[in-house]
């Protein structure tokens, strides 16, 4: 008997305290039937990675509105690699310049959601990725 739910970790790194975006996304993902583990503000890369491992989430979502993210997000990816965690989807949302989005993707972020992204798009993207993963396992 299977009771599969997608688990998503939402985090805000550093001192960025704009929560409107992450609040809206958390509710949207919950309304789409997902379980959202919200870590709160002022997370360090270590905190995010330990939480992601313990909660065995499928997705790590980082909300970035303060522009300091180029410093923090690559560290999250490094820590994940160090811990040999390679099966989680990492997405970033917020106000992110195109060149930074490209660098993030090159560093291992799967998708960057910015201007014009609908919250529904994010839930859809996550679900499509997850369905693909499940299909591959079968």
Q: How far is the CB of 78 from another protein (least distance, A)?
A: 15
Decide whether 41 or 107 has the Cβ nearer to another protein.
41
DSSP secondary structure letter of residue 4: -
d(CA 66, CA 123): 23
Which of 65, 68, 20, 24 shows the shortest CA–CA distance to 45?
A: 68
When asked if residue 33 is in the footprint of another protein (CB under 8 A), the reply is yes
Q: How far is the CB of 76 from another protein (least distance, A)?
A: 13
Report phi then psi at 43, rounded to 5.
Answer: -85, 145
When asked if residue 55 is in the footprint of another protein (CB under 8 A), the reply is yes
When asked if residue 96 is in the footprint of another protein (CB under 8 A), the reply is yes
When asked if residue 31 is in the footprint of another protein (CB under 8 A), the reply is yes
36-44, 103-111, 124-132 -> range binding another protein (CB under 8 A): 36-44
- Cβ neighbours, 10 Å, residue 116: 6
Exactly one of 59, 61, 62, 69 binds another protein (CB under 8 A); that residue is 69
Q: Which stretches does DSSP call E strand in the chain?
A: 7-11, 35-38, 59-64, 89-94, 111-113
**β partners of residue 62:** 11, 92
Contact indicator for 9, 51 with CB cutoff of 8 Å: yes
> How many residues of this chain bind another protein (CB under 8 A)?
67
List of residues contacting another protein (CB under 8 A): 1-5, 7, 14-20, 22-24, 26-44, 46-47, 50-51, 53-56, 66-72, 83-87, 95-98, 100, 114-116, 118-120, 137
């Amino acid at each position: 008997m299977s009771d599969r739910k997608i688990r998503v970790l939402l985090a805000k790194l550093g001192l960025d305290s704009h929560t409107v975006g992450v609040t809206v996304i958390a509710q949207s993902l919950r309304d789409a039937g997902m379980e959202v583990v919200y870590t709160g503000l002022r997370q360090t890369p270590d905190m995010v990675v330990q939480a992601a491992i313990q909660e065995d989430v499928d997705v790590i979502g980082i909300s970035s509105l303060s522009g300091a993210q180029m410093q923090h997000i690559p560290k999250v990816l490094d820590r994940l690699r160090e811990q040999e965690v390679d099966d989680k989807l990492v997405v970033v949302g917020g106000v992110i310049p195109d060149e930074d989005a490209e660098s993030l993707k090159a560093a291992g972020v799967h998708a960057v959601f910015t201007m014009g992204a609908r919250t529904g798009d994010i839930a859809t993207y996550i679900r499509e990725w997850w369905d693909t993963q499940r299909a591959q396992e079968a």
